[in-house]
Structure formats: structure tokens, C-alpha cells
Amino acid sequence: MKYDVIIVGAGMAGLTAGLKLAKSGKKVAVLEKHFIPGGYATNFSRKGKDGNIYTFDCSLHSLSGMNDNCTVYNMLNNLDILDKITINKKENSTSILRNGKFFPIPSDINEFESTLCKRYPHLADNIKSLFEFMKNFYENMKLLSVNHEEAPKYLLDLESISVEDFVKRYIDDENFMLDFGYLWGYDGLPPSKLNAFYYIVTLSSYLIGGHSYIGGGSGQLSKVMQECIQENDGKVYLLSEVIKVNTENDKVISVTTKKGDVFEADEFIFACDPNHIFSLIDNPIISDYVKNMKTLEKSSSMTQLFLGIDCSSKDLGIKYSNVYYQKVDLETSHKCSLEGNLEDANSNVAFYDQMDPNLNKHGASVHITAIDYSKNWPERGTDEYKRRKEEITEILLNKLLKLFPQIKDHIQVMELGTPRTMARYTNNSDGAIYGWAQNIKQGGLNRSSFKTPFKNAIMIGSWSFPGGGFEGAIFTGMIGANRILSKSKNKLNSSNELITINVLMNGLISKFNPENAEGINITYKFLFNGYDPIYLEIKDKTARLLPESETPEKVDTTLTMSHETWYKIAFNEITGQDALMDGLVKCEGNLRNFASMPKFFDKNLISIDTIMTGLISKFNPENAEGVDIIYKFVFENYDPVYLEVKNQTARLLPKSETPEKVDTTLTMSHETWYKIAFNEITGQDALMNGLVECEGNLRNFASIPKLFNKSLN
Ligand SMILES: Cc1cc2nc3c(=O)[nH]c(=O)nc-3n(C[C@H](O)[C@H](O)[C@H](O)COP(=O)(O)OP(=O)(O)OC[C@H]3O[C@@H](n4cnc5c(N)ncnc54)[C@H](O)[C@@H]3O)c2cc1C
């Protein structure tokens, strides 16, 4: 069986990538070991004593980023599945429970901010500054979800510090930390150890992107994704555990499943735990990769008690869907979890009927969860394991009943899931639920990248950038799919000729935005193989390439990369951040200067001259045999531009030379031409949407992509 792309693992990440690729016309197969898709995003059912069937969501408590035009919303919209799912908004249904008192957490960031300002009036100004930061931060994240643009500019500010240290920049108050850090359990580490970048992503994604729940549970979302993959001619093979990854030198050739089927493909995506998948590969080139993995810390797991009750929680006077029970401070809680002391660790209680009344029409499912670790559990199937299950069931049940005693007489069914259960169903080592731990060292740009030692295989999912959670997993799925799509776009346009470095550099200069370069004085040195160094100076709100005669006295940042990498960065096929993480760019000196480049050069439109020069550099004489066309381009506030294709040559006519005849006149905005040039819209779509007016021979317009199809390999 030969496919364009094989994806191993049908969790949120694998399903997202599978759907994106299938919709883009790729022949794709997703292989999944379980009998249902979703990984952690699945449901299961149990029969209650009352004979009713109770449905439980294995993971989802709250989906972030589902407000209109927010991160996850944009991604699911891009996948065309918004109309196939029900989004239940969770308005003000969350609360912290501390010292016997409820502290409601408003869903909206502004309300949360004013609640905290009221609760800590002496800290109000600092709270406002902190929230201002988060709001700006989230705007940046949204851009990333729409365009997969450059790294959020705040990334470098946050990636190497803990949440605690970050918050202390604004506020140093233990109680405030308990409120602000209430979501720590979703990332698995307490504020002193948790990476600030990741926590601010999580928190702002909930507070601005919104808390929601998918009608029918996370299992329903996975089912819809599976169906959509199939509707787009993709395949999802269930009960198909990959047990061997077959490689040749630096390429993956195929994978073999437990049933003995062999699936071949051009590209592979591993959407599961790298510790597991690399254990299925026998090839010396993985040794450094595996050695490095051994130095990394895995995230925590969870133990959860699932209860089916025969009435709604609202009928029992319960007001909240999610209650974060803070029995102790967050650091002590984590210590308890590490020691397996779930009696004293903090817990999260979720009443699912408040999120989706239809999940269990005759009652409700109630979960009590606590961060836990596989090392606290004996091997599955042993007597010790059974004993510990009974012991922990009783502990969690008693804890729940102490908080909500009214539930007691309504319990119809009970089941405990442990870290070992998580590992069993997903192959995530130690039942890790967020991939690699989001600690200070392993977050942000330092997180494991998509790259593997194989040319045609990438890693996605909670173990790669940016990390776990539904939002993170969906995000990696989109990035992974886009990487493969841009790779094949290049193959389609395959040629040995690159747009020259000079054109790329001039294109960069034309995007320079002086407004963002106030007070900046940086000299960059670019080193490309086989080229003299190129120096770029930003000074006095001007960017210029230094002439060969002028070698600068100081260089602040030196960037070494291939011509191909620079081309890819320039044409948004890879972000600078990804290139850095994948080792494609070497940065010496001040790294922050590299990260700031998207800000300095953020003028949206490359000049018409540069686009035209770029077009000419892509001219393919082989496709222009016998062609004799003069195009006239008309842009607002611009002299007409004449392009002649004749004698297998393309050239822009100098201003002094007005042609006698014009075959095709194209009138459009600068922006439309930019979008066509950068493949954001096809010429045909632009025409159909009335963005281009074409006079004369329309066929000549349609021929442009063929005449100018030289690009990278
Ligand atoms: C109890 C719990 C509560 C959570 N609550 C939330 C929440 O409220 N909000 C939130 O955003 N996130 C939450 N999360 C985290 C979130 O569920 C995960 O981060 C996310 O679903 C991970 O998706 P993934 O695709 O990266 O990996 P996974 O879900 O682990 O998927 C990996 C898939 O690969 C398959 N697989 C592995 N090995 C093989 C193989 N050899 N062959 C074939 N298939 C294979 C597995 O069976 C699995 O289906 C929670 C997680 C848990 C466990």
C-alpha cells in the first residue's frame, strides 16, 4: 500500500494533520492502534447499577481558543469542520475552592482582571500591567494560528523563565499566585518549575480564546475528524498498531503494523510519543537523537476517578462545571503528586452535565482528577496494582464526597484511570499527558522540534512545539501538514535555479518598516555557502545593505544558512524560528536580533519592482517556445509595467520603451499582485473574485504560472 503521507497515531495532532493533508489532495493514511480514533481525545461508556449507560470523556475539561477568530476556532475553520460540531461555551462556570470558599473565575479576561483587582486592591496597577501584557501576547498568538507567521515577539522574553519568576516581575504575593496559577494542573508543573511561555499561552488562550466544550465530548470531535478525512478520500486504519518503522539511510521507507501490513509512503508523520516510535527503528543515524531524548524530562500523568450519577449536578445545587480544589499551595501539591500522596494533592472536579447536558441524558458524569506519576503505580495486572487502585479510588471518592456530599446516594458506576491506563491506551511513556515536561529548559524555542534524523519524517503532537493540550496538538498537526505541503509545492516547481540572494535581500529591504526600528542600531552578517558575506545595517530608522567596499567594524549577529533556507524563510515556507530549531540556521551573537527581524521587516507588501524582478527570475524558457506576448500591468498610483516574453526570454521593458502593441492588460491592486506572487491566491481565483481585470487575451494571463514556474528544488 503506497501513500503520499502516512501518519502514525490518530490523536488530535494526527487527525488534524491527516485532515489538512487529505483536504489538500494528498493521498493520506492515518494508522491507529486503538479501535477508536482520538488518543486521549476519546470517550468510553460503562453500564450503571440502574441499567443506564454512562459516557465519559477521557480527557477534555475545557477547550481553549474557540471564540470567533481565535486560535483553535481559526484552525478548525480552516479544516471546514466548524459546522459539524457543537461548541458549548462555558460562561463563568469555573471556580477555585480554597479554605472552604469558592473563588469564581470569570471566563472573560477583563472580568478576571477586575475580579483580581478587587480581590487585591493594593496590587491593582501591577495586575493591570500583567494583563495588558497577556492581551498583547495573545494577539500575537492569533496571528501565528492564521498565517503561521514568525515567532511571537514575546517568546524570547518568556521562554527561559518560570511562571513564578515571570509573575514576580509584576506581583510578589502568594495568594495572587494561587489565583493566577490555578490552571497549572493543565500543564503539569507548579509555578516555580513551569515554563512561563507555555503557561501564558494556556491561560490567555482560555481567558481570551474562551473556555468551551465540544458537544458529545472530545470523542465526538475525533469522530468528526475521522469522518472528514474519509470524506476527503483519506484513510484511517484503526486497530493498526505500527510495530516497526523501516528505514534506508536517512529515509523512512515504510511502516509495518501488528497485523503484518506494510504501508509505504513518500512522507511520514509520527504523531505519537517519540520515545515509543524511535524504539521501533533500527538505524544507527538515530543514536544522537535517542541519546538526547534520554536527557529530557517527561510531563506528568493523571489519575482520574470517573463517576456516573443518576441526576444532574445542577439538581444537586452545584453551580460550577469545573472546580479547582486547592487543598494546599501549588508547590506542595506537586510534591504530594510526585510522592503519590493523592489524599493531600490538589484536585480538579468536573461536572460534565454543566458542559453538555446531552452527554448523559439520564444523569451526569463527574470526574475527580489529580496530577500523578506512573512510578507511583505497580505493574498493571498485579495484586499490588489492584490494591492501589482500590485505595486511590477510596481516597478520591472520600475527597469528592467531603466537598459535595449530596452526590453520595446517586452514584451508579465508578471507574479509576491511572497513569498506567493512559500509557496502555496511547503508548505515551509513563502515561505522560503533555509530552515532554513544560519545564524552564524545555519550553519555547528550546522545545523538541518537528525534525527527526530522517529527511522525510517529522514529529508532531504534544511532544513537539509548542506542546500538549488540545490546542497545542491541533496546532502541531496544522504546522506538520503545512510543512509537507510546502515541501511538495517546491517539488512541483522543481528547478535548480533559486531566486538570487540579491533579489531576496532587496526584497527584505523593501519590507523594512522604520516605525519599528526606532533607536535600533544593529549590523547583521549573512553567510551563505559560496557567497561573500553580506552585511545588513539597521541604523537611524534606515535599513541598507553595505556595499562590498564597506566592511563594518562591529557585527552584532551573524546568521549562517544555505541559500535554500533563506529562500524558504523569505517565502514563508518555514519560519525563522522553525529553521533555527531544526538547525538550518546558525545564529552567533545576539539571538534576539534574529528574532526581531520579522518586526523590522514587517511591511506587508514587497514593492512591485521586487515582485516583478522575482517573477522574471522564475522565468522558464523551456515553456516559452514560440511565445510572443506583451503584458501590461496596471497598478494604482504606479506607471504601467510592460513585460515582454519573446524569443524564449522574459524582460521588463525600460520606462523609455513603450510597446506598440499590448496583448493582455491586467489591472489589479498591489496587494492582489503580491498575493498571487506569493501563492496566497491563484490568478484564476483572483479573476473569479473580481480582483483582477483582464483585457485582451485571457489565455495569456492563464499562461503566467507555466511561463514563470522555475523555483527551488
Ligand atoms: C485526563 C486528561 C485531561 C486533559 N484535559 C485537557 C483539557 O481539558 N484541555 C486540553 O486542552 N487538554 C487536555 N488534556 C491534554 C490533551 O488531551 C492532550 O495533550 C492531547 O489530546 C494530545 O494529543 P496528541 O495527538 O498529541 O497525542 P495522543 O492523544 O497521545 O495521541 C497519540 C495517538 O497515537 C496512537 N499511537 C501510539 N503509538 C502508536 C503506534 N505504534 N501505532 C499506531 N498508533 C499509535 C495512540 O493510540 C494515540 O491515539 C488532557 C489529557 C488528559 C489525559
pLDDT at 675 > cutoff 80: no
pLDDT at 289 > cutoff 80: yes
- CB distance 18 to ligand 1 below 6 Å: no
Nearest to 188 by CA among 396, 444, 468, 442: 468
CA–CA separation, 407 and 390 (whole Å):
20
For ligand 1, atom 26: residue with the closest CA = 461
Please report the pLDDT score of residue 713 as a whole number: 36
pLDDT at 498 > cutoff 60: no
Q: Of the given ranges (184-193, 503-512, 662-671), which has the lowest mean pLDDT?
A: 503-512
Q: What atom of ligand 1 comes closest to residue 12's alpha carbon?
A: 25
Q: What atom of ligand 1 comes closest to residue 468's alpha carbon?
A: 19
Which set of grid coordinates corresponds to residue 711? 523555483
Instruction: Return the axis-axis angle of helices 670-677 and 608-617, rounded to nearest 10°.
Output: 30
- CB distance 333 to ligand 1 below 6 Å: no
Please report the pLDDT score of residue 566 as a whole number: 86
Banded model confidence at residue 712, pLDDT cuts 50, 70, 90: very low
Q: Which residues contact 245 (CB under 8 A, 6 or more apart)?
A: 8, 252, 255, 268, 277, 280, 281
Percent of the chain scoring above 70 in pLDDT: 94
- CB distance 34 to ligand 1 below 6 Å: yes
pLDDT in tens, 176-208: 999 999 998 888 899 999 999 889 989 998 999
- CB distance 15 to ligand 1 below 6 Å: no
Please report the pLDDT score of residue 297 as a whole number: 96
Q: What are the φ/ψ torsions at residue 223 (nearest 5 degrees)?
A: -65, -45
Which set of grid coordinates corresponds to residue 89? 461555551
Q: What are the φ/ψ torsions at residue 474 (nearest 5 degrees)?
A: -65, -40
- CB distance 469 to ligand 1 below 6 Å: yes
Q: What atom of ligand 1 comes closest to residue 471's alpha carbon?
A: 11
pLDDT at 494 > cutoff 70: no
Q: Does 501-600 match 608-707 in CATH topology?
A: yes
pLDDT in tens, 610-625: 788 878 888 899 999 9
- CB distance 12 to ligand 1 below 6 Å: yes
Q: What are the φ/ψ torsions at residue 459 (nearest 5 degrees)?
A: -105, 135
- CB distance 41 to ligand 1 below 6 Å: yes
Banded model confidence at residue 348, pLDDT cuts 50, 70, 90: very high
- CATH homologous superfamily, domain 2-60+217-297+435-490: FAD/NAD(P)-binding domain (3.50.50.60)
Q: Which residues pair with 534 in a beta bridge?
A: 526
Which set of grid coordinates corresponds to residue 309? 450519577
C-alpha angle 156/161/162, rounded to 5°?
A: 140
DSSP-assigned letter for residue 4: E
Please report the pLDDT score of residue 69 as a whole number: 78
- CB distance 461 to ligand 1 below 6 Å: yes
Write the burial class of residue 290 (CB in 10 Å: 0-12 exposed, 13-18 middle, 19+ buried): middle
Per-residue pLDDT, averaged over 244-269, amounts to: 97
If you compute the radius of gyration of the chain from its CA atoms, what whole number of angstroms results? Answer: 28
For ligand 1, atom 27: residue with the closest CA = 11
- CB distance 444 to ligand 1 below 6 Å: no
Q: Which residues pair with 273 in a beta bridge?
A: none
Per-residue pLDDT, averaged over 430-446, amounts to: 89
Which set of grid coordinates corresponds to residue 304? 482520574
pLDDT at 496 > cutoff 50: no
Residue 248: other Cβ atoms inside 10 A: 10
Q: Which residues pair with 605 in a beta bridge?
A: none
Please report the pLDDT score of residue 711 as a whole number: 59
Q: What does the mean pLDDT of the chain come to?
A: 90
pLDDT at 485 > cutoff 90: no
Please report the pLDDT score of residue 149 as a whole number: 42
CA–CA separation, 603 and 510 (whole Å):
8
Per-residue pLDDT, averaged over 1-9, amounts to: 94
- CB distance 367 to ligand 1 below 6 Å: no
pLDDT at 555 > cutoff 90: yes
Please report the pLDDT score of residue 493 as a whole number: 40
Please report the pLDDT score of residue 144 as a whole number: 54
Per-residue pLDDT, averaged over 342-351, amounts to: 97
**What is the Å distance from ligand 1's center to 459 Cα?**
14
pLDDT in tens, 31-40: 999 999 999 9
pLDDT at 492 > cutoff 50: no
For ligand 1, atom 35: residue with the closest CA = 9
Of the ranges 198-207, 261-270, 570-579, the best mean pLDDT one: 261-270
pLDDT at 111 > cutoff 90: yes
**What is the Å distance from ligand 1's center to 227 Cα?**
19
Banded model confidence at residue 497, pLDDT cuts 50, 70, 90: very low
Choosing among 3.65.10.10, 3.40.50.880, 3.30.1050.10, 3.40.50.300, the CATH entry for 608-707 is 3.30.1050.10
- Structural domain spans, the chain: 2-60+217-297+435-490, 82-215, 305-372+378-414, 501-600, 608-707
Residue 69: other Cβ atoms inside 10 A: 12
Please report the pLDDT score of residue 32 as a whole number: 98
pLDDT at 347 > cutoff 80: yes
User: Torsion over CA of 536, 542, 544 and 546, rounded to 10 degrees?
Assistant: -70
**What is the Å distance from ligand 1's center to 426 Cα?**
7
Residue 193: other Cβ atoms inside 10 A: 20
Say which CATH architecture domain 501-600 belongs to: 2-Layer Sandwich (3.30)
CA–CA separation, 640 and 633 (whole Å):
6
Q: Which residue has the cell 503521507?
A: 5
pLDDT at 52 > cutoff 60: yes
Would you say 582 and 600 are in contact if contact means Cβ atoms under 8 Å apart?
A: no
Percent of the chain scoring above 90 in pLDDT: 66
- Between these two residues, 290 and 483, which has the higher pLDDT value? 290
Which set of grid coordinates corresponds to residue 409? 446516594
